[in-house]
Amino acid sequence: MTHARHDMALEKRLISRAVEMALDEDLGQTGDITTAATIPEGARATAVFQARKAGIIAGLEVAEAAFHALDPAVVFEALVHDGATVPPAANLARVSGNARALLSAERVALNFLCHMSGIATQTGRFVEAVRGTPARIVDTRKTTPGLRAFEKYAVRCGGGSNHRSGLFDAILIKDNHIVAAGGLAAAIDAARAHAGHTVKIEVEVTSLAELAEALAHPVDAVLLDNMTPDQLRDAVRLVAGRVVTEASGGVTLETVRRIAETGVDVISVGALTHSAPILDIGLDFEIR
Amino acid sequence: MTHARHDMALEKRLISRAVEMALDEDLGQTGDITTAATIPEGARATAVFQARKAGIIAGLEVAEAAFHALDPAVVFEALVHDGATVPPAANLARVSGNARALLSAERVALNFLCHMSGIATQTGRFVEAVRGTPARIVDTRKTTPGLRAFEKYAVRCGGGSNHRSGLFDAILIKDNHIVAAGGLAAAIDAARAHAGHTVKIEVEVTSLAELAEALAHPVDAVLLDNMTPDQLRDAVRLVAGRVVTEASGGVTLETVRRIAETGVDVISVGALTHSAPILDIGLDFEIR
Amino acid sequence: MTHARHDMALEKRLISRAVEMALDEDLGQTGDITTAATIPEGARATAVFQARKAGIIAGLEVAEAAFHALDPAVVFEALVHDGATVPPAANLARVSGNARALLSAERVALNFLCHMSGIATQTGRFVEAVRGTPARIVDTRKTTPGLRAFEKYAVRCGGGSNHRSGLFDAILIKDNHIVAAGGLAAAIDAARAHAGHTVKIEVEVTSLAELAEALAHPVDAVLLDNMTPDQLRDAVRLVAGRVVTEASGGVTLETVRRIAETGVDVISVGALTHSAPILDIGLDFEIR
Amino acid sequence: MTHARHDMALEKRLISRAVEMALDEDLGQTGDITTAATIPEGARATAVFQARKAGIIAGLEVAEAAFHALDPAVVFEALVHDGATVPPAANLARVSGNARALLSAERVALNFLCHMSGIATQTGRFVEAVRGTPARIVDTRKTTPGLRAFEKYAVRCGGGSNHRSGLFDAILIKDNHIVAAGGLAAAIDAARAHAGHTVKIEVEVTSLAELAEALAHPVDAVLLDNMTPDQLRDAVRLVAGRVVTEASGGVTLETVRRIAETGVDVISVGALTHSAPILDIGLDFEIR
Amino acid sequence: MTHARHDMALEKRLISRAVEMALDEDLGQTGDITTAATIPEGARATAVFQARKAGIIAGLEVAEAAFHALDPAVVFEALVHDGATVPPAANLARVSGNARALLSAERVALNFLCHMSGIATQTGRFVEAVRGTPARIVDTRKTTPGLRAFEKYAVRCGGGSNHRSGLFDAILIKDNHIVAAGGLAAAIDAARAHAGHTVKIEVEVTSLAELAEALAHPVDAVLLDNMTPDQLRDAVRLVAGRVVTEASGGVTLETVRRIAETGVDVISVGALTHSAPILDIGLDFEIR
Amino acid sequence: MTHARHDMALEKRLISRAVEMALDEDLGQTGDITTAATIPEGARATAVFQARKAGIIAGLEVAEAAFHALDPAVVFEALVHDGATVPPAANLARVSGNARALLSAERVALNFLCHMSGIATQTGRFVEAVRGTPARIVDTRKTTPGLRAFEKYAVRCGGGSNHRSGLFDAILIKDNHIVAAGGLAAAIDAARAHAGHTVKIEVEVTSLAELAEALAHPVDAVLLDNMTPDQLRDAVRLVAGRVVTEASGGVTLETVRRIAETGVDVISVGALTHSAPILDIGLDFEIR
């Protein structure tokens, strides 16, 4: 099931820039002074990435890129693919080459891989919880600054889907926009006039009354904000398939199934990206 | 107590670059199309940052910078300072000015503030847990790529201290370095010869035997890796104040007090930065 | 009518980066050596931007930014607003301040203003040609590398609308995608599975048969490629308002009205951006 | 004849940066979502660049670099060289490799190639018009922001020559400089004192009287601004080969021959770069 | 005399970038940890730049920018201007404001000011040595990587002139070019055909025979490489004012006067920039 | 002896960025116009780097990178290694490949190599002068802006050691910090509270009384500022090996031996980096 997700690969150019930025942070201008002092220049090593716990993997190409940024001759062999669900102690990849490059890039590789796999794993839990319902689990814009594309990719690896990428690629009219525009109708009209024909318009509503008003206008989706399962069920009935329905607001693993069973199309969960603990992955070395 | 921490301020130049990068991510080349369509150009707004839960605040200056990047005329008034412990529903800051700027920068400001406050809050829990013991809580290099300086600052706001900044500013000799260098003595000798006189040398040991061997050489600190409290107590006794002792390895809120009571100087905790959930903070608007 | 367009302002951060890049190109590392040699350091000047021909203006804020990049104290007073239709010899803006800054930034300011106003003017001609029909004139991705956001803004200033911003914000399935995916149905299915719920899907068709096939699937828009007015009229009838219809392919000022009269919703015109001559605008100085 | 031009190649480092910038614009952070959804990861394709109209080609290396930025394994085979004059339907280059890379880079490659070839073709028309006269056709600083080096290269491909690169590499004293410096003599003196011995000095004059005054000072070239052919002829006679003569001001394909026949050395034409329509070039795919 | 030099000011945009780069180097991601620990946040200070030795000053604006990058509220008052010749113990500038900003920017400000003043002072010695002769002292491309514009500005502050800025703004045909082109005549012909009309052509010659050959072609200057004073005198006689004459090659303070007295127009000296010791300047603080 | 130094290699990523920056400076947007005009596109050349004087070499990898930035196919063969002491006329490296790439990168390669070798050579003189004493020669933060990492590497090549990298990686409490903190004890206390356990603390003292006071607190090193050899001897005796002793202040080749013989551990010398003349190295071509 996760297979369909990772056909939308992460671009190599993005990966390369993110890895450079992370290496800059860790190496500064002076570099890895421990390794420079203690590891002979010609030493070789092999190391294996191992999941210490069960989870879903995301970020293997990023980990690979961290090593290649320091030494293009490093050999990185993925043993699973992004999106794979793995048991504890699963070997994920083997990397071998210049020992200095391996040791100096280790932490950057792990920081990406553990963070992204943590998000994929967290997403997988939510996806699993709604299995059998029509609901898609989607992310939000509550992402870690600088890593949005990586986190949205990890959500896909975990079986989730992506909400809009940012403020620029879809219109989402919220309460403040409605107030400022002078009402729901005025806001939607303005959005229609303004938006190109390839831009979808979604409107946030907090009650059935607002929902009914929104449906009187040409919108593509409605965000049902902080509604109870009963309200959501009524909303889905009222919408009757005319537009996409999205449930949102404080969704947890405990509540997500009941929400999904209301028949909403999409459930957005900030906690996929803003509060996922890492997946514990280690890198075990053999130095020669 | 947190007061001593934030005298090491985050540099404005770092903040400004990070905010630019996050705004780029959220605004793309096209900008906030919902706001452009629905918010009149001259509209003004006021909004208040409110903590939805109790916690320790970090990142107010970063939040401020997000608004100023879009409109330097926005007025940002901090109601608490970084490092403050706040109860649920505490108001943290008030921001007012051009409504478009406020709405377009809102998510970037919150993403930084919630992430950093989450780390400060998590740190505060560990610091609280060891209160009365001599142990300092410190972070690791297991940080989110691109945000290390921000996360290390948040750790200080939470009452913790910082381990080295990266691979460049201290020598930490681990197992792989020892193997490659041909033994502990050889590794420390190489480090001494290599390091400038302003660089500290710390050595990772996993047993009392290794510790004894390390202490025979001129090192500044020892990292006691994955030891039990009993082992740590023995290690502290063996060290007898000659060098800094650091306990490390899978430390949790449940285990940290017992570790601290062994008398170690420093306890490093990866989970401060790699797995802290956000602190839930909202921004409540009043549009005019 | 052009008023509704420029509420989607160009972001100041984009403007500032583009202006820096253009100044770098013109000033190099050495700067304006003619001005340094001949203009006394304290000299002041005033200059007026004048349209040498009739047209629609776009880019006044960019021109302003060019002067401010060299001297923030320069005073720039816009006499018309972006989107204004002006006659020959219309004064557009008055700029005054340090004579060196004015002379050194002059060409960069004019290069942006003339290029963007050229596109706005060209767009205005197409918009005028379809006045009274339901068709919107929209741009394409055939833009000048590096200036897409500026050119799309100029299209809006000219009364046009924008197609997607890039490959990332809408799905447009063309012939090659259909072939590779194994047919129209397979391609649309794949797109539906892949796309988030905020992403629109448009499909290119070249015949009524293909159009009929596309309409059997859930798409948001159809691109009617290189069809004759008669074919377009049939297509519009077949679509019957269910999805957005876009006419595309070699549209000129001579053919656009006949196309618009077929009832299509949107007509996309590459020549708005890839072949618009500049609008001739001069800057007339008075040096003191 | 165009052969002598393209020995001054475009530097690969400039090409690579411009291509990155254009790909960023088109791919954003999310990438080509249509291709990701519909094109199988291993699909291969071949495509041929074909000129839809006659013209002069410029930019093949830039097009090549666009594909290589996405996949270094793409094979790009140029069938003509930059500077070649081609008939309609001429095949220009063949590109083959990963189908996703080819489709995702297509528009960037074409945007550069069509824009640059448009300028080369426009330049070629002017060069052709003055054939047999001593006049060289040269460009101006009226270039598209960000693309000056590419446009000046295209001018050379079209058989033209380049005026100065920017404000930094030659002195061109215009009316405003003369006024500010306190007269022509004062301006030239200041320029002489200021300029290094490798910098040429050109002076703009608008009448024979001004020309006579300029020739009394040590200048390298004179810009004869907006003169009639008769005035130009008189000017050329007055100069008598002592300095380079440049005709400038609103030169068109209709007027350029008469200007060239006056005997001026150089004719500068802003329209080479600021108003050249693209050369229509297509990319025809064969997907496997 | 130095007055004429600094009308070619250093651009503020260059200064600002160079200062950012230098501050990044000195502050890293962590900042000035000594100052953060020991200087109270509100402390104010005043400090005075004092020349410890006699010399010529260059770089005061760069020093100022270093402080302003950390705190725009710092007040910087220049007591002399760039290009001034000062005695030992001369006060150069007074800076006051936030004590942390002053202390953290101190070294960057001094590193620029001492380096640039060192070059100005060294240049001044050469200029003084040739006083009364027609020769201009000029720099070379033997500059410190990254600082060319700053060093060329310092040369002007010292009373020298600038040779070409780089490989891009003048043609200088050396021995290797002549060999590759197939002889002097072929090389000059190629250069003439290639160069725009605003580009000067200089040719390096090593004997009177080569000089005679060069003068038979249309060149603007000749570089007389490593000639003795007698040879130079003969060369000047042979040139007879037709082109600029430049003496070059291992020029020292001991030899420069004898070279200048040969009548050459220009003497280029690599040691102005590649081997000038700093001018010792200190910053004396008064902390409050 | 120099062997131990260059195991701390310069990172390839730093080299690559510095070389790009220097090539930008020399090539601008237009490139090497002399070479483009005169060197046939296919011409090949070989060239040899030769030291014109005796010295210590540093920067061969940087020189290599300059050529590779223009043409990755250039073959660069180092004949000595960084840190080697060479006699006059020693051949250092042979480079062969595309003649244009070789000629266009020549100056950048030489500017780095001569500058860095000048520093290594200068360092070597100081190291030689203290041979047989316990003193290490170390650098300071008085480096050329933008080149600190390169200059600190060159110091290591010359047999010296590095002081701290910047303000961020060690605490050095100077007079102004002591005044602002309210005395030596207060300053050291603040530093201890503030600094992480991996950060060393050094204190500047100017008299034996201050030294005695400093030694009463837990510091890692003392900087003995501008003391006479007699004072230094007394200071060393007082310290008695408890902390590192550093002599600093106007150290010259004439005074360094007497300072070293006082028994200090470290002697810091600003002149290693701020006033080292280049080592004269040439590149001799053979063009084919």
How large is the C-alpha radius of gyration of chain B?
Answer: 22
pLDDT confidence bin for B288, thresholds 50/70/90: confident
DSSP string, A73-127: T-EEEESS-TT-EE-TT-EEEEEEEEHHHHHHHHHHHHHHHHHHHHHHHHHHHHH
Q: Determine contact: C224 vs chain D, CB below 8 A.
A: no
Rounded distance, CA C43 to CA C286, Å?
11
pLDDT surpassing 50 at residue D113: yes
Q: What is the mean pLDDT of residues D189-198?
A: 93
Which amino acid appears at position A247 of this protein? A
Q: Closest Cα of chain A to B176: distance in Å?
A: 7
Mutate to test the interface with D, among F16, F21, F30 (most CBs of D within 10 A): F30
Nearest CA in chain F to C28: F28
pLDDT confidence bin for D63, thresholds 50/70/90: very high
pLDDT surpassing 70 at residue C6: no
- Write out the two tokens for D161: 């020559």
Distances (CA, A) of A34 to A49, A73, B190, B202, C124: 22, 22, 9, 10, 65
pLDDT surpassing 50 at residue A172: yes
pLDDT surpassing 70 at residue B142: yes
F139 φψ region: left (φ > 0), alpha (ψ -120 to 50), beta (else) = beta
Rounded distance, CA D22 to CA C13, Å?
18
pLDDT surpassing 80 at residue B248: yes
Do B13 and E41 count as a contact with CB atoms less than 8 A apart? no
Rounded distance, CA E170 to CA F34, Å?
8
**Pairing relationship of beta strands D44-51 and D75-78 according to DSSP bridges:** unpaired
Q: For chain B, what is the mean pLDDT?
A: 95
Catalytic residue (choose from E32, E82, E204, E265):
E204
Do C9 and B31 count as a contact with CB atoms less than 8 A apart? yes
**Pairing relationship of beta strands E44-51 and E91-98 according to DSSP bridges:** antiparallel
pLDDT surpassing 50 at residue D3: no
pLDDT surpassing 80 at residue D285: yes
pLDDT surpassing 90 at residue B8: no
Angle, helices B60-70 vs C12-27, to 10°: value is 70
Q: What is the mean pLDDT of residues B96-102?
A: 96
Beta-bridged to residue F201, according to DSSP, are F171
Which amino acid appears at position B247 of this protein? A
- Write out the two tokens for F113: 């190599």
Active site annotation includes A107: yes
pLDDT surpassing 50 at residue C264: yes
pLDDT of residue F205: 97
DSSP string, B42-101: T-EEEEEEEESS-EE---HHHHHHHHHHH-TT-EEEESS-TT-EE-TT-EEEEEEEEHHH
Distances (CA, A) of E136 to D199, E139, E257, F2, F159: 15, 10, 11, 43, 41
pLDDT surpassing 80 at residue F7: no
Rounded distance, CA C222 to CA D259, Å?
52
Q: For chain C, what is the mean pLDDT?
A: 95
pLDDT of residue C272: 98
Q: Determine contact: F170 vs chain B, CB below 8 A.
A: yes
Nearest to A165 among D20, D30, D37 (CB): D30
Within its chain, how far is the Cα of F215 from the centroid?
A: 30
Give yes or no for a contact between E141 and E163, defined as CB atoms under 8 angstroms apart.
Answer: yes
Q: What is the mean pLDDT of residues F183-195?
A: 93
Lowest mean pLDDT among A252-256, E8-12, E50-54, F277-281: E8-12
pLDDT of residue B287: 75
Q: Determine contact: E198 vs chain A, CB below 8 A.
A: no
pLDDT surpassing 70 at residue B36: yes
pLDDT in tens, F15-56: 999 999 999 999 999 999 999 999 998 899 999 999 999 999
pLDDT confidence bin for A67, thresholds 50/70/90: very high
pLDDT confidence bin for A286, thresholds 50/70/90: confident
H/E element, D284: strand D281-287
* Residues comprising chain C, all counted: 288
Residues of D in contact with C112 (CB under 8 A): 145
pLDDT surpassing 50 at residue A264: yes
Contacts of F24 (CB under 8 A, 6+ apart): none
Nearest to B9 among E20, E36, E69 (CB): E36
Q: What residues of F are labeled active site?
A: 107, 142, 174, 204, 225
DSSP state of D59: -
Q: Determine contact: A149 vs chain D, CB below 8 A.
A: yes
pLDDT of residue E286: 85
Rounded distance, CA E210 to CA A69, Å?
51
Rounded distance, CA A26 to CA A110, Å?
12
Residues of chain E with pLDDT under 70: 1-8
Within its chain, how far is the Cα of C66 from the centroid?
A: 20
The angle formed by the CA atoms of residues D171, D172 and D176, to the nearest 5 degrees, is 125
pLDDT of residue B9: 77
pLDDT confidence bin for D1, thresholds 50/70/90: very low
DSSP state of A41: T
Q: What is the mean pLDDT of residues C163-183?
A: 95
pLDDT confidence bin for F286, thresholds 50/70/90: confident
Do D146 and C194 count as a contact with CB atoms less than 8 A apart? no
Q: What is the mean pLDDT of residues B232-250?
A: 97
pLDDT confidence bin for F4, thresholds 50/70/90: very low
pLDDT surpassing 50 at residue D195: yes
pLDDT of residue D8: 60
Distances (CA, A) of D81 to D1, D64, D85, D279: 13, 12, 9, 16
Rounded distance, CA B50 to CA B285, Å?
11
pLDDT of residue C56: 98
Distances (CA, A) of B98 to A151, A264, B63, B73, F219: 31, 36, 16, 8, 52
Rounded distance, CA A12 to CA A15, Å?
5
Q: Determine contact: F20 vs chain D, CB below 8 A.
A: yes
Shortest CA distance to F262 belongs to which of F127, F133, F131?
Answer: F133
pLDDT surpassing 70 at residue D25: yes
pLDDT confidence bin for D202, thresholds 50/70/90: very high
Rounded distance, CA F102 to CA F125, Å?
32
Q: Closest Cα of chain D to E165: distance in Å?
A: 8
pLDDT surpassing 90 at residue B229: yes
DSSP string, chain F: -GGGGGGSPPPHHHHHHHHHHHHHHHHTTT--HHHHHHS-TT-EEEEEEEESS-EE---HHHHHHHHHHH-TT-EEEESS-TT-EE-TT-EEEEEEEEHHHHHHHHHHHHHHHHHHHHHHHHHHHHHHHTTTSSPEEE--S---TT-HHHHHHHHHHTT-B---SSTTSSEEE-HHHHHHHTSHHHHHHHHHHHS-TTB-EEEEESSHHHHHHHHTS--SEEEEET--HHHHHHHHHHHTTSSEEEEESS--TTTHHHHHTTT-SEEE-THHHHSPPPP-EEEEEEE-
Beta-bridged to residue B45, according to DSSP, are B97, B287
Residues of E in contact with F31 (CB under 8 A): 167-168
pLDDT surpassing 90 at residue B4: no
- Its pTM stands at 0.96
pLDDT surpassing 50 at residue C178: yes
Please state the ipTM of this predicted complex: 0.96
Mutate to test the interface with B, among A38, A143, A201, A248 (most CBs of B within 10 A): A38
- Write out the two tokens for C207: 């015949």
Rounded distance, CA E65 to CA E14, Å?
11
Q: Closest Cα of chain B to A34: distance in Å?
A: 5
Q: What is the mean pLDDT of residues F129-151?
A: 98
CA-based diameter of chain D, in Å? Answer: 73
DSSP state of A242: S
pLDDT surpassing 60 at residue D223: yes
